[in-house]
Amino acid sequence: MMNKIQQILPWIVLVLAVLYAGQRVVRPERIESAFDLERFRQLPVSASGRTKPLDTVARNSLMKMSGRQSIQTDEGTVSAIEWYIELITDPEASVQRRVFRIDHPDVLAMIGLDKEKRTRFSFEELRIAGNEINRQAGLAFETKAKSRDPFQRAILVLNQRMSLFSELSQLLNPYLVPPLTSGAEEWRSFVTVLNESPNDPDAMALLTILQDYRAANLEGATEEEYEAGRLSFNTSLGKFAGLIERKLPYEARKSRYEVIFNQVQPFIIASTLFLIAFLFGCFGMLSSQLTKKEWSKSLFNSMTSLLVVALIVQTIGLVSRVYLQGRPPITNLYSSAVFTGWGCVIIGLIIDRQMKLGLGGIMASVIGFGTLVVAHNLGSSGDTMEMMQAVLDSNFWLTTHVVVVTIGYSGTFFAGFLGIAYVLLGVFTKMLDRELGKSMVKMTYGVICFATVTSFAGTVLGGIWADQSWGRFWGWDAKENGAALIVLWNLLILHARWGGMIRDRGLVVLAIFGNIVTAWSWFGTNMLGVGLHAYGFTSSTVFWLTLFVLSQIVLMGVGMLPMTIWRSKFAKPILPNS
């Protein structure tokens, strides 16, 4: 009986995981509204150089201002698109919405809102202090970016959010008017079109839709007025959307897909699955210690089921981004984090297939979850599919470079995390016996070899791209140097090993230092603010990076504690070194 359960469990978990992921796709959250806002949010518009659905604009803007993709009110949740259409049709109501998140106490005090026990405020509340905010922002702007204090940074952020609010409500951005029947070739700003050619058919169609919505939702509108406005809104929107469908079929299709992508949020699903997989892995580890080998095997297999589903979901997410953006999978720090996790999960699954220990899977779930959390935090500042500067535009060498070098990062990280697992298991538990230790060292060594090849090849591909782009194979740029450091560090470990200078413990401790080198190359080099690759960074990144580096140093220190303190006792180093 028990045997049966152990055999079936992984399959049950697999089915449940598929169901969990599937229901988000099959039954996405719909908007409860008598107005066809579903169709409205699918309308493609042009913002920051990319065609995207209004849904994305609404979500990203709200995210930028309030740190959330919806608004919580006493009456319930207001979705991003409901907020957006209110913003552009009913200014009186929209200035009452509490969408501005302010955390800095001095900023709150300056506006006179420090007595309030909340962190989100409405435009109206801020308008009173508008002049002072402007003056302070002006002062902060005059200060060099590096020497601004936290107050100045906070005030600039607030100022930016307020201008975003104004830009949106005044219909300056995004470019709403598509090139349909007017003869225009590009997307245009609604306000510009109304000023320049008031009879433009495309803009008029849009204006009708917005006026209908306004008429129906106006304060004091009668039942009949509401009903008439609603019907008219839905009909004219249907016509407009149909026209876009005919004239711009590609944009319309992509736009619809992106709305689904926004709703499904594949990376959120994947991170949930990683977390559950990690729990299964831990239980598997525990039960292997309680000499219940069958149970541990069953739990590990369940973990693998979860990981496979998570990997598929994450792959779909990555492929969707490639389709939506028309760019390689890695375009900024956000996507590099997602991709690094993806690479690590594959490495972990391969290792588990070879070694059947469950350790690869545990590592995969930890790194998979961790990188998605990092990505989520990096992505909270707006559109994660923004356009890139011309020099970083797509090119075969650039694409292969970022992909391969990111796999190299993944490998180095993976080896480092294996090292951490080795140290923690060895020092704090009795689990690390001779056999497990040997396997883990083998794994670490193998992953380092893999990481050496990929990080070298990735770096070289970057060189080829640089040579193609500006005639310099190697320019000693900060990011290039970072990549070279990873290669050199891996080579150092391998040669030290071959020379017999380090044994098992040395290998894992050095592998942990590889985490620091990789983190430096990945994030640290961007913080210097020099070179071509300095594409994005916030001061909180500095804090987290410092914390990470310190934690790794501590772990290395723990790993170097005398073997007599280790709770796992194994008499001699396992591998003979002549």
Nearer to another protein, 368 or 446 (CB): 446
Q: How far is the CB of 355 from another protein (least distance, A)?
A: 12
Backbone angles phi, psi at 150, to 5 degrees: -55, -40
Q: How far is the CB of 499 from another protein (least distance, A)?
A: 3
Pairwise CA distance, residues 46 & 461, whole Å: 33
Nearer to another protein, 300 or 520 (CB): 520
Reported in sequence order, the residue ranges of 85-189 that DSSP labels E, i.e. its strands, are: 98-101, 120-122
Nearer to another protein, 191 or 275 (CB): 191
Nearer to another protein, 76 or 576 (CB): 576
Q: Say if residues 148 and 156 touch (Cβ distance below 8 Å).
A: yes
Nearer to another protein, 377 or 395 (CB): 395
| The token pair that represents 107 in the structure block | 């900023």
Nearer to another protein, 215 or 527 (CB): 527
Question: Residues 6 or more apart from 245 whose CB is under 8 A from it?
Answer: 252
| The token pair that represents 101 in the structure block | 């998140």
Q: How far is the CB of 346 from another protein (least distance, A)?
A: 17
Nearer to another protein, 24 or 442 (CB): 442
3-state secondary structure of 27: coil
Distances, alpha carbon 466 to alpha carbons 241, 388, 459, 482, in Å? 44, 17, 11, 15
Nearer to another protein, 139 or 528 (CB): 528
Q: How far is the CB of 134 from another protein (least distance, A)?
A: 22
Q: Which residue, chain included where needed, has tokens 């079929």?
A: 249
Beta-strand pair 76-79/70-73: antiparallel
Q: How far is the CB of 31 from another protein (least distance, A)?
A: 27
How open is the CA angle 256-271-27, to the nearest 5 degrees?
Answer: 40
Q: How far is the CB of 187 from another protein (least distance, A)?
A: 5
Q: Which amino acid is at 501?
A: M
Number of H helices and E strands in the chain, helices first, is 23, 6
Nearer to another protein, 66 or 490 (CB): 490
Q: How far is the CB of 27 from another protein (least distance, A)?
A: 35
Q: How far is the CB of 146 from another protein (least distance, A)?
A: 8
Pairwise CA distance, residues 444 & 416, whole Å: 8
With b for 16 or more beta-carbon neighbours within 10 A and e for fewer, the 442-457 pattern comes to bbbbbbbebbbbbbbb
Q: How far is the CB of 53 from another protein (least distance, A)?
A: 16
Q: Say if residues 63 and 75 touch (Cβ distance below 8 Å).
A: no
With b for 16 or more beta-carbon neighbours within 10 A and e for fewer, the 401-418 pattern comes to bbbbbbbbbbbbbbbbbb
How open is the CA angle 275-280-284, to the nearest 5 degrees?
Answer: 145
Nearer to another protein, 173 or 302 (CB): 173
| The token pair that represents 521 in the structure block | 């190359």
Q: How far is the CB of 577 from another protein (least distance, A)?
A: 7
- Tell me which H or E stretch contains 490: helix 478-498
Pairwise CA distance, residues 36 & 210, whole Å: 12
